[in-house]
Amino acid sequence: MLMSAKVVKLELNYNCEIHKWFRQQTHYIAPFQQESAEHFARRLLAYLTLYELSPTLNQRPGIGKMPDLYLQDQQQHFTLWGVVDPLTDKSLRRALHQADQVVLFLTEQQASKTSNLPADANADCYQFSSADLARLIVMLKPHMQLSVWREQDKLSLTDGTQVLDIALRHQTQHSPLFRNLYF
């Protein structure tokens, strides 16, 4: 199913238990042209997973050449490169070369097929279940009001009528960025 909205207005209330942090903001997120609802849902979950770091969502699909979300320092060097699709070996090497930290946000099926993360690389992988993604897709609307409660290993989302608890299954290789933020 393709996303039908040109822009999604997200009114977000975000709470983090660990850091006693609260933020209330409105975001405008444009789905890519011909983007599936499942892909958009993974991009949204990736954004919410790293929300406290204030990542930038890429507005153009990179297909391995650009991240879906990222952080950059003052010299425009990528400190974080996040993607929601599996990377080819070449694209993964390129991302590891260009960024201090690479994070993949994959479905369980994609993660089981992806074993190309080098053991010595600063690479991480979050896995989302197909059932959680399907439930989030039902919550997607052109004008969304979401409340998010972040715990160390869980995101709880509600739109006022439905509650979705998403376990953050995280495979860490070497991730000082995440250890400092959540552990």
For residue 181, the model assigns a pLDDT of 47
| CA 101 to centroid of chain Cα atoms | 14
Q: What is the pLDDT of residue 172?
A: 56
CA distances to 56, 93, 136, 182 from 32, in Å:
15, 25, 18, 30
**Between the CA of residue 31 and those of 46, 76, 158, 164, what are the distances in Å?**
14, 24, 21, 22
pLDDT beyond 70 at 72? yes
Question: HSE-up of 46 (CA within 13 Å, CB side)?
Answer: 31
76-88 mean pLDDT: 91
Of 51-60, 141-150, 174-183, where does the model show the most confidence? 141-150
Query: Residue 9: is its pLDDT beyond 60?
Result: yes
pLDDT at 112 over 60: yes
* Count of beta carbons in the 10 Å neighbourhood of residue 47: 21
Please state which CATH number belongs to domain 8-182.
3.10.640.10
State how far the Cα of 148 lies from the Cα of 139, in Å rounded to an integer: 13
For the chain, the domains span: 8-182
Question: What is residue 182's predicted lDDT score, i.e. its pLDDT?
Answer: 47
